[in-house]
Structures are given as structure tokens and as C-alpha cells.
Amino acid sequence: SQQGEEDPQALSIQEGENATMNCSYKTSINNLQWYRQNSGRGLVHLILIRSNEREKHSGRLRVTLDTSKKSSSLLITASRAADTASYFCATDADVQKLVFGQGTRLTINP
Amino acid sequence: DAGVIQSPRHEVTEMGQEVTLRCKPISGHDYLFWYRQTMMRGLELLIYFNNNVPIDDSGMPEDRFSAKMPNASFSTLKIQPSEPRDSAVYFCASSLGGSGGNYGYTFGSGTRLTVV
């Protein structure tokens, strides 16, 4: 079964609004990562948050991690059309590999 | 570095034919992963290598699939014989360390395989 499960499966918002995606996982982790996939392309690493961190920022991205609830959220502020993509969380319950969730498909409407 | 390089970008083949997908990882990365992505099943890990040695091939669907990594700069995924249900996008990714550390995995652009 998938270690990470994203929610919602799909999200459609207007340009300029904030987008929030959630990820839940089942077992203890060392770190959690978020990736973006544009249509027809490979996944691109966005940000990593370690299990001893609660929040991390990178540009318009804000990631939170709640290890007690085994959940993480990715917030994209002031969304742009170029943010349209699928977003995946990945966890390292097995230190030799990441396990990816099913992804959230984000559409930014102009 | 040019990133992870996969070839071909697109492959259309007839059922029963052999298909070989190729990957050149980032120089210095010690892990290489092969994934398959479909709408129905999402992103599936097929096999991964550490220092050119296959570590876990439990995701390989069946004996028709095989993967090799003869050296640190090249890996192949072979399907023989191919079937229509193998149609998918196949990604290769490499990393420094199994979970990729601060930089995560670097993915190639993928090979879109269509078996007719």
C-alpha cells in the first residue's frame, strides 16, 4: 500500500489564491519530500522537511510536518498559472528508497 | 551536469517485440531507480540499484521485465516480449543516498511506451 496519501486528489483554484495540499503517511519517517510534475515531464524535487522540523519555507512554498498525526501540508501562496501541475509527497520509511503518494492534480485558472 | 538522460523519449512497438529503455544517471549518484507511471496505478517502483548492484526488484511485474546496470553511468530496462498492458511512462531517477538527502531524486524526462 502507498506510504503517502495526498488529499485532495484534484484541486482547482483561481490565479492569485493560495493552494493547500495534504499528505498522510503510515510509519515513522526520517524526512518527507514534495515533488512537482508538469504534464509529460519527470518529477522535480521541491522541498525536504526533516522529522525534527515543523515548518519550512522556500519562496512561495510552505511545508508543515506533524509527526504526531503523521501528516504534512504543502501551501503554495499567490498561485500562478505556471503552478499547474501534479504534486507528490514522498517518505523514506525505508532509508534506501522513497515511497510516493498518488499525487494531487492542481489546476490554476487564469 | 545535463541531468538524468533517458532514451528513447517515445517508443511505439508491436505486441511481442522486445523493448529496451536506457538511462544515464547523474555522475556521482550512487542510487538508480526505475519507475512506471500509469493513470490507474500511479507511480510504481520497479527496481533500484545501489552502486550498480540490484537491491530490490520486487516491483518488477513479471519475468518479461529485466534491468541491468553494467556500470555507474548506464542502465537498461528491457521488456521481452512486450504486451499492450505494458504501455506506460517509464522514469529513471538517480540520487545520492537512498532517500536523496537534501536534494531528493533527480528524474529523467521519461520514456512513453505504447505497445499496440
Q: Which amino acid is at A12?
A: S
Residues of chain B with a CB closer than 8 angstroms to some CB in chain A: 4, 31, 33, 42-43, 45, 48, 50, 55-56, 91, 93, 98-110, 112
Query: Which pLDDT does position B1 carry in this prediction?
Result: 66
Strand order across the A55-58 sheet: A4-7, A19-25, A71-76, A61-66, A55-58
**Region A25-37: what's the mean pLDDT?**
93
pLDDT per residue as tens digits for the range A6-18: 889 999 999 999 9
Contact check, Cβ <8 Å, B56/A42: no
CA pair distance A79, A107, nearest whole angstrom: 10
pLDDT of residue A3: 61
Mean pLDDT of B49-62: 94
Residues B8-48 pLDDT 10s: 999 999 999 999 999 999 999 999 999 999 998 889 999 99
Consecutive H or E run containing B13: strand B10-13
Q: What percent of chain B has pLDDT over 90?
A: 87
End-to-end CA distance of chain A: 36
Is the model's pLDDT at A1 over the cut of 50?
Answer: no
